[in-house]
């Protein structure tokens, strides 16, 4: 067991005021700005947001692969943008990406690629059986080629491989896309068991699995984090009207008679939800600070007022 | 109106232990889809949803049985469109978004402005996306683009094969509102493996298992009073946001 010189109360990974984007020869397009994120040991953090809101860009920034204009990322209290620390960090994290075909070699069998993870060629068979059992996969798959598998199956094989390595930080991007219910439930159980050794960042546009397994949930819109908190607080008492609308408008069997209609306003302001918010005010045009209510952070200037006049 | 009569489809097993055997994907289906409704087809993965979608839209021919479009065996030009499951392979990656709009408009003899209008109603603005190459779009943006192309041609029927698997809640709501408002002109057949979405959008629901339809009816009655054991298990295990997994 490796000895930790840093106390357990400090966060394992800390993103402080990060702004990042894509840099070409001519122009710079900023996608995410002002992002604060903390990952503690043994926790699962979830990030939800619309498509095009910068979730995948944030993953690439945490990997250390794209340009940042300001801010910093700390792994065990050391900045990863220093070269020496970056190579240390790179061995401790694993990223499972959205397109699984590019991550596997198409013409080699799955078992060959699992053995290649451990250079000697031996892997723990009991752990592999346990992971395959939870993810609803056959052991026959080990002899097949990745081109013969479907998209969801390939994604599950990647997650089983990541669980064998046991990295300190595991980042999964859209793990639940295209899977059925039993496979999703098994995957969430596997994530819960993994938290003894690893901390997980889970990014998805599907809300239900995020709230079923995560300890802390971040909500993104148009490149900013607009609210974060414990999962139970976010469900019971959302501080931002966008989050309330998001939770109410979720398609489910229970509210099938209800039809959700967004309000369209003409005013364009600084707040990211100002074009569709129903509690719009003149104060929303100003730059809105990120405020705190105990452990619960949010970016809305009208918080205690809009809860009173809600219908 | 689309009618299926005795549809059977099988694939040959090409390797392994069962080499040369027939694997039945669809077994003797008889079903009628009438106009003015949204049908949802629910089934776990591997039960034959994608094969059914391909047979209805004419992309694969059944081994026995017939598909009738408005009472005739001939598939007319605008009778059915399909949105495929994998958005990465159903569009041209080396062209930009405007090329897809112009090509669709040129083939169908319509104005490209109309397609852009549909795209902007779903929350994606022309100024942001006009010059983006298709390979730089994310999975959800590709799915919206292929839905827009299918919808803007105004067919009689659209077959949607797991169209929302990469999308977020707010965009799904916009698409579903659009589907509800246009359902008297277009017949929608919607395949998914999430019971929450199927129950939310549909008027009638069909439940598939092992290549055949085992239960069907109005969505309210199927959800309140399921008959088969399989359906009861599905209804009991609908994912709920407040059920924690420990």
The model's pLDDT over A34-79, given as tens digits with 9 standing for 90+, comes to: 899 999 988 999 999 888 788 888 988 888 888 888 899 999 888 8
Residues of A in contact with B242 (CB under 8 A): 211, 235
**Under an 8 A CB cutoff, do B200 and A255 touch?**
yes
User: Which two tokens mark B66?
Assistant: 């017939």
Percent of chain B clearing pLDDT 90 (strictly above): 44
Helix A241-248 crosses helix B169-181 at what angle (to 10 degrees)? Answer: 50
Lowest-confidence region among A212-226, A277-291, B209-223: A277-291
Q: Which of B54 and A295 is assigned the larger pLDDT?
A: B54
Lowest-confidence region among A191-205, B122-136, B147-161: B122-136
Interface test with A, best of B241, B242, B246 (most A CBs within 10 A): B241
CB burial of A265-292 (b: ≥16 within 10 Å; e: otherwise) equals eeeebebbbbbbbeebeeebeeebeeee
**Under an 8 A CB cutoff, do B223 and A213 touch?**
no
Residue B68's pLDDT band (boundaries 50, 70, 90)?
very high
Provide the pairing of β-strand A216-221 with A224-230.
Answer: antiparallel
Which residue among A177, A179, A253 sits closest to B238, beta carbon to beta carbon?
A253
pTM: 0.80
Average confidence (pLDDT) over B3-25: 83
Average confidence (pLDDT) over B82-98: 89
Q: Mind telling me how many Å the CA of A198 is from chain B's nearest CA?
A: 16
User: Which two tokens mark B174?
Assistant: 């916009």
Residue A102's pLDDT band (boundaries 50, 70, 90)?
confident
Average confidence (pLDDT) over B25-47: 90
Residue B47's pLDDT band (boundaries 50, 70, 90)?
confident
Q: What is the pLDDT of residue A278?
A: 80
Q: What is the pLDDT of residue A25?
A: 77
**Residue B177 pLDDT exceeds 90:** no
Q: Mind telling me how many Å the CA of A194 is from chain B's nearest CA?
A: 12
Q: Does B224 lie at the interface with A, CB-CB under 8 angstroms?
A: no
Residues A230, A236 contacting (CB under 8 angstroms): no
Interface test with B, best of A142, A256, A268 (most B CBs within 10 A): A256
Q: For chains A and B, what is the number of CB pairs under 8 angstroms?
A: 115
- ipTM > 0.85, yes or no: no
Q: How far apart are CA A189 and CA B244, in angstroms?
A: 10
Residue A265's pLDDT band (boundaries 50, 70, 90)?
very low
Residues of A in contact with B197 (CB under 8 A): 251
Q: What is the pLDDT of residue B8?
A: 94
Q: What is the pLDDT of residue B83?
A: 92
A166: left (phi over 0), alpha (psi -120 to 50) or beta: left
**Residue A269 pLDDT exceeds 80:** no
pLDDT digits (tens, 9 = 90+) for B212-243: 999 999 999 999 899 999 999 888 888 888 88
Q: Which residues pair with B190 in a beta bridge?
A: B40, B160
Residue B17's pLDDT band (boundaries 50, 70, 90)?
low
Q: Does A77 lie at the interface with B, CB-CB under 8 angstroms?
A: no
Q: How far apart are CA A146 and CA A167, in angstroms?
A: 24
**Under an 8 A CB cutoff, do B245 and A184 touch?**
no
For chain A positions 246-265, those within 8 Å of chain B (CB to CB) are 246-247, 249-253, 255-256, 259-262
> Does an H or E element contain B197, and which?
helix B195-201
Q: What is the pLDDT of residue A256?
A: 76
Q: Does A47 lie at the interface with B, CB-CB under 8 angstroms?
A: no
**Under an 8 A CB cutoff, do A256 and B86 touch?**
no
Q: What is the mean pLDDT of chain A?
A: 84
Angle A216-A218-A220 from CA coordinates, rounded to 5°? 170
Q: What is the pLDDT of residue A267?
A: 35
Q: What is the pLDDT of residue B15?
A: 66
Q: How far apart are CA A183 and CA A71, in angstroms?
A: 38
């Amino acid at each position: 067991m490796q000895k930790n010189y840093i106390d357990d109360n400090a966060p394992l990974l800390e993103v402080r005021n990060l702004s990042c984007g894509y840099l070409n020869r001519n122009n710079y397009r900023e996608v995410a700005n002002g992002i604060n994120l903390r990952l503690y040991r043994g926790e699962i953090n979830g990030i939800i947001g619309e498509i095009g809101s910068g979730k995948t860009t944030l993953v690439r920034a945490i990997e250390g692969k794209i340009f940042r204009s300001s801010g910093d990322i700390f792994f065990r209290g050391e900045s990863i943008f220093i070269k020496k620390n970056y190579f240390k960090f790179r061995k401790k994290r694993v990223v499972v990406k959205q397109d699984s075909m590019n991550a596997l070699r198409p013409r080699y069998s799955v078992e060959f690629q699992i053995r290649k993870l451990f250079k000697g060629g031996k892997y723990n068979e009991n752990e592999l059986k346990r992971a395959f059992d939870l993810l609803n996969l056959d052991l026959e798959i080990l002899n097949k080629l990745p081109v013969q598998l479907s998209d969801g199956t390939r994604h599950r094989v990647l997650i089983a491989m990541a669980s064998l390595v046991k990295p300190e930080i595991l980042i999964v991007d859209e793990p639940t896309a295209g899977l059925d219910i039993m496979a999703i439930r098994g995957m969430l159980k596997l994530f819960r068991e993994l938290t003894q050794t690893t901390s997980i960042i889970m990014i998805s546009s599907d809300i239900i699995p995020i709230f079923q397994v995560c300890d802390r949930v971040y909500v993104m819109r148009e490149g900013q984090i607009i609210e974060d908190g414990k999962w139970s607080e976010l469900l019971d008492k959302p501080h931002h009207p966008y989050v309330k609308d998001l939770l109410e408008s979720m398609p489910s069997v229970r509210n099938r008679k209800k039809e959700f209609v967004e309000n369209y306003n003409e005013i364009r302001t600084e707040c990211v939800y100002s074009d569709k918010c129903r509690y719009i005010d003149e104060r929303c045009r100003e730059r809105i600070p990120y405020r705190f209510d105990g452990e619960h952070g949010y970016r809305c200037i009208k918080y205690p007022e809009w809860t009173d006049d809600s219908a | 109106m689309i009618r299926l009569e005795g549809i059977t489809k099988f694939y040959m097993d090409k390797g392994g232990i069962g080499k040369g055997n027939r694997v039945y994907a669809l077994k003797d289906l008889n079903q009628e889809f009438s106009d003015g409704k949204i049908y949802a087809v629910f089934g776990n993965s591997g039960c034959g949803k994608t094969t059914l979608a391909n047979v209805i839209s004419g992309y694969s021919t059944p081994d026995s049985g017939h598909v009738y479009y408005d009472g005739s065996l001939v598939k007319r030009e605008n009778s059915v469109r399909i949105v495929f499951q994998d958005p990465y392979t159903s569009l041209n990656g080396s062209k930009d978004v405007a090329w897809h709009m112009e090509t669709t408009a040129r083939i169908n003899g319509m104005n490209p402005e109309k397609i852009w209008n549909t795209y902007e109603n779903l929350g994606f603005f022309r100024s942001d996306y006009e010059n983006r190459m298709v390979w730089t779009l994310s999975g959800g943006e590709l799915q919206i683009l292929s839905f827009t192309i299918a919808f803007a041609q105004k067919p009689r029927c659209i077959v949607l094969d797991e169209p929302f698997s990469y999308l977020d809640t707010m965009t799904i709501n916009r698409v579903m509102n659009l589907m509800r408002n246009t359902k008297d002109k277009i017949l929608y057949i919607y395949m998914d493996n999430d019971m929450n979405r199927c129950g939310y959008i549909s008027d009638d629901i069909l439940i598939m298992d092992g290549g055949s339809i085992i239960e069907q009816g109005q969505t309210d009655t199927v959800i309140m009073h399921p008959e088969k054991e399989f359906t009861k298990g599905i209804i009991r295990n609908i994912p709920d946001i407040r059920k924690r997994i420990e």
